[in-house]
Every structure is written in structure tokens, then in C-alpha cells.
Structure 1
């Protein structure tokens, strides 16, 4: 597989992981009972922690992309599926 394809697969897998990780540990202003700034959405998260979630998504994307590439290049696995 070419490097451009690997980067494209990683990018897609990273976004899927990031979207899956976003709701973990999030609490809205409505749930915590904190006061809102005028015009703010009551469902917005109090502390979104985007950096930690991006790092977690990166780790998961590395693992999932590695597993996907291993599965696509493993001759034994491919022979099993092609019988």
C-alpha cells in the first residue's frame, strides 16, 4: 500500500475515533447546574478536554489502522478468506 493511501486511511480512522471519543466524560451545563453566559447553549460541555480526547483518538487510530493494514497484508488471513 502506498504512503498516501495509508495517510488517507489513518485520517478517516482518526476522525471516526475522535467522534466516538467526544462524548466520553462530557457533562453539560444543564447536568452540572452551572450558570450560563447569556446566549450560551445549556447542552454545551462544561470542560470539553479536546486535547486529551484528540490524543486518545490518535492512539486508537494508530492501533486500528495498524490492525487494518496488518489484516490487508497478511497472506495467511487472505488465504483463509479466499478459499
Structure 2
């Protein structure tokens, strides 16, 4: 796997991991009973995006390493 392939796998893995961690720990305003005027009652009270971005990055690194451990031996075996 070359550098471009690794970056592509990382970016795809990052977005997939971000979509997996987005709903974790989200509480809607209706659950707390304090709905701010002009917002949807299902809008999150705290979005925790910095923490979720960090978790998505860690997950993407793990997925990229696993993909590299699978792809590189296959490329060597099949002569690619």
C-alpha cells in the first residue's frame, strides 16, 4: 500500500468512525426539560465534538493499521 492508498483508507475510515461516535452520549433538550427558544427540542444540549473528533481519529488510525496489515501481505503474495 502506497502513501496515497493509506491516506484514502484513513480518510474513509475517519468519516465512518465519526458517524459511529456521533450519537454516543448525546442528550436532547427535551430530555433535560430546558428548551431554548428558536431551537429544535431534539437538538443536543452538549455536542462534545472535540472529544468525538479525537475518538474518530483514534478509530481511523486503528482501522488504517489493520487494513495495512491485511493489504500489504496480499500485495506481496500476489505480486502487486
**TM-score, normalization: structure 2?**
0.86
- Residue 24 (structure 1) aligned with residue 24 (structure 2): yes
Once the two structures are superposed, the pairs formed by residues 1-83 of structure 1 within 5 Å of their partners are: 1-36=1-36, 38-74=37-73
Work out the number of aligned pairs and report it.
76
Task: Give the RMSD, CA atoms, in angstroms.
Answer: 1.6
- Find the aligned partners of 2:35 and 2:22 in 1 and give their Cα distance: 23
Unmatched segments (≥5 aa) in structure 2:
none
User: What SS does structure 2 have at the residue aligned with 1:74?
Assistant: helix
Cα deviation digits, residues 36-74 of structure 1 (max 9, x gap): 1x2211111100010000000100110011001101113
Q: Is the 8 A contact 2:35 2:41 kept in 1?
A: no
Gaps of 5+ in 1: none
The whole-number CA distance in structure 1 between the counterparts of 2:53 and 2:12 is 14
Q: Which has the bigger relative contact order, CA under 8 A and spacing at least 6?
A: 2
Is contact 2:26-2:44 (8 Å) kept? yes
The SS at the match of 2:52 is helix
